[in-house]
Structure 1
């Protein structure tokens, strides 16, 4: 068996000490072992608009600085999100269309149909429900025993929230995070050995389940869950007749409502333990929670990148991006850009302008549910501080092997109650 750590060191050495033109930040092992920040720091300093002519994902540009990312992300007329938002294309050519990977006008039509489920007017109604569920989850945790925070809190809370947004049968809610993991387990994001036949099997099950829900909702009065909204909207109600487009949008809404928030929930516990002075600051002043939430989302950057295709030649950073080129915006690098964010490698819960980050994207594709995500994190930390003196990290996390989802599968912790 090869020595995994040696392989990772080889990858890191090649990217930090090899010629700049051969740097490939898309190596999933860099993210799995939290080594990617060093590579992006080198690119920002030496070649911020970086072209790699050959990689496992083909030739692509890496955009690594905050303002350059905003330029690309905001210019949907030059940089297309079709046919995909991730760096690679799946080897089995299974690429269901979804509105985040569409251009105008179709993107706007489908996004507008689903958006009322997470509109500001819905947040006040959701807040009481989220708080009730947070309290139930926290009150059920084993105090003084080691457990996996990812499973017991991060996944459980976001799963319950997702079940609400879909009005999904609560007894089957654990299907949702499973399907989310299936959707993001792909060779297109660097997951080596991904079983694409297994992936297809379970995504087909997801489609069949939601198709039944769609038919039920279409024959009931409209409500404000995702499926009901899409099934009743004049411009999307025929999506049921295009199973791949329906599946693509299900994958988008499930991953968008689950993976990103759950990994910020885990990341917050990890960061506070690694920065005990910040944890002390939080306990002394709980009013810092909303600001801390933004800092967690910046520091974690739940989705590492988004990709675009250039529709015409474009000058950026003294380089010419050619029509047809693949362009990858590395959000995780933009969030550590020293020219825009003061001492970005420091985790500061009282950081000024903490919401000034690129984790949610910009332009027409900006994260639709960002306010719901922030609200879940805020309520969770309010209730944590009301119950526990601290959440102690008792081992190192196990991270996801992916260049897209920056997440955790294990975070061993122990709770210390307030005395």
Structure 2
């Protein structure tokens, strides 16, 4: 790894000098939060990338117009070149289902214009930014950690830790659900999966946060250099674990990577992409859905009432909240050839942003899609975990964590009440919350 840095709203490519790089998302942020309301724009002028739209929860109408008027929508900006926003479920499935035409190998978030060469730096070693067969080989190395047998083994531990955190919550006092519950539970689970020193578990959340953060004064990070320095700390930490597990392996993800047939010859530094992928997959997505479940049920209190009256609806509620929240807003693919999609002519090397967040509000799939409906008959048809060869390997673990959380919530609290609107992540990639003030009332 070289001492260069980049922020491509999610890519960990470390490909250009920090001093002369502005990311596509930063370019949009730099234009200010005063972006015109969706209905004041022509459809050609709509660009849903602006991170302010997500931080202010104003993105909905932009995607509604694109789904209705231009579901495969073209934009071009200096910092990223040509890209298409794919906003409807069937079109996204078509892209995800054809990895030979729509490749992941150049990166999974909007980046610099593609040269046709694979992504550089850390991302070349992340299997989410690979195509089969290499993607399958590396993915299979770590899949046993989240297979059904192992999940049965860890379920008691997840429940024990969930109870421990919920029992510690103050009553009659406003506290931040994100910090106190969502982050705490997900970092405890990550520490278990990595067999990571438990007292240092918050480092995992920190490394996850900085991967996708947009540098800004007072923000999660303030510069590209800060991101690089902290990710070097991640590499150094895992290098030590790497060497320990070479000698004394366990059943954890680090041991699986160290001894896997297709990954054993890679160093921790070379494997930074996969490490960050697993950290982010276990942290950002689960924690934001945990927070989204509390916020969503407060937004639609009749659904909360229904859940309290019928706890057997928890499993379907979990699917519905994952649909409604959509913790990662999009993934990118890059066209390997000239082709057609939905009547649009896609050029070789064009980028396609598959907006899962929009597909999960597709009225052709979900009736009254903007509402939380915990009895929705097809809630599990959401695309929050992707589709095809890159469908999230940890989805059953995430579902189980959310199910256990609400089983334990309903057993001990009359209500969790949101006290003010949450603050949201400044990102068009990670769709999440930075704070959610709540109070709890025990039974």
Question: What is the TM-score of this pair, normalised by structure 2?
Answer: 0.88
Indicate whether 1:382 and 2:407 are aligned: yes
Indicate whether 1:236 and 2:263 are aligned: yes
Between the aligned partners of 1:366 and 1:209, the Cα distance in structure 2 is 29
Instruction: Look up the match of 2:237.
Output: 209
Structure 2 unmatched runs, 5+: 1-28, 114-119
Between the aligned partners of 2:220 and 2:247, the Cα distance in structure 1 is 43
Residues 12 and 39 of structure 1 are in contact (CA less than 8 Å); yes or no, is this contact kept in structure 2? no
Q: CA RMSD in A?
A: 1.8
Query: 1:177-188 alignment to 2 at 5 Å?
Result: 177-186=205-214
Query: 1:101-120 alignment to 2 at 5 Å?
Result: 101-120=129-148
CA shift, 1:18, in A, is 1.8
CA shift, 1:57, in A, is 3.0
Instruction: Look up the match of 1:218.
Output: 246
Which of 83, 93, 96 does residue 106 from structure 2 map onto?
Answer: 83
How many residue pairs match? The answer is 404
Between the aligned partners of 1:186 and 1:257, the Cα distance in structure 2 is 21
Deviation per residue, 1:343-384 (Å, 9 max, x gap)? 111110111021110000011100010000000000000000
Between the aligned partners of 2:192 and 2:151, the Cα distance in structure 1 is 12
Indicate whether 1:11 and 2:11 are aligned: no
Between the aligned partners of 1:170 and 1:217, the Cα distance in structure 2 is 16
Residues 214 and 426 of structure 2 are in contact (CA less than 8 Å); yes or no, is this contact kept in structure 1? no
Which of 259, 262, 268 does residue 284 from structure 2 map onto?
Answer: 259
Instruction: Look up the match of 2:227.
Output: 199
Between the aligned partners of 1:83 and 1:194, the Cα distance in structure 2 is 26
User: Equivalent residue of 1:104, what SS?
Assistant: coil
Residues 415 and 442 of structure 2 are in contact (CA less than 8 Å); yes or no, is this contact kept in structure 1? yes
Residues 12 and 35 of structure 1 are in contact (CA less than 8 Å); yes or no, is this contact kept in structure 2? no
Change (3 A) 1:142 1:153: same
Between the aligned partners of 1:363 and 1:333, the Cα distance in structure 2 is 18
CA shift, 1:89, in A, is 4.3
User: Equivalent residue of 1:413, what SS?
Assistant: strand
User: Equivalent residue of 1:141, what SS?
Assistant: coil
Between the aligned partners of 1:61 and 1:375, the Cα distance in structure 2 is 34
User: Equivalent residue of 1:59, what SS?
Assistant: strand
Which of 188, 210, 223 does residue 160 from structure 1 map onto?
Answer: 188
Between the aligned partners of 1:89 and 1:163, the Cα distance in structure 2 is 34
Residues 24 and 55 of structure 1 are in contact (CA less than 8 Å); yes or no, is this contact kept in structure 2? no
Instruction: Look up the match of 1:318.
Output: 343
Residues 295 and 418 of structure 2 are in contact (CA less than 8 Å); yes or no, is this contact kept in structure 1? yes
Indicate whether 1:331 and 2:359 are aligned: no
Between the aligned partners of 2:83 and 2:128, the Cα distance in structure 1 is 20
Deviation per residue, 1:101-146 (Å, 9 max, x gap)? 1112211111110111111111100110000000000001111110
Change (3 A) 1:212 1:267: same
Instruction: Look up the match of 1:50.
Output: 73
Which of 300, 317, 326 does residue 301 from structure 1 map onto?
Answer: 326
Between the aligned partners of 2:338 and 2:220, the Cα distance in structure 1 is 33
Residues 335 and 341 of structure 1 are in contact (CA less than 8 Å); yes or no, is this contact kept in structure 2? yes
Instruction: Look up the match of 1:61.
Output: 84
Instruction: Look up the match of 2:428.
Output: 403
User: Equivalent residue of 2:399, what SS?
Assistant: helix
Between the aligned partners of 2:305 and 2:110, the Cα distance in structure 1 is 39
Which of 12, 28, 46 does residue 23 from structure 1 map onto?
Answer: 46
CA shift, 1:88, in A, is 2.4
Residues 257 and 264 of structure 2 are in contact (CA less than 8 Å); yes or no, is this contact kept in structure 1? yes
Residues 43 and 69 of structure 2 are in contact (CA less than 8 Å); yes or no, is this contact kept in structure 1? yes
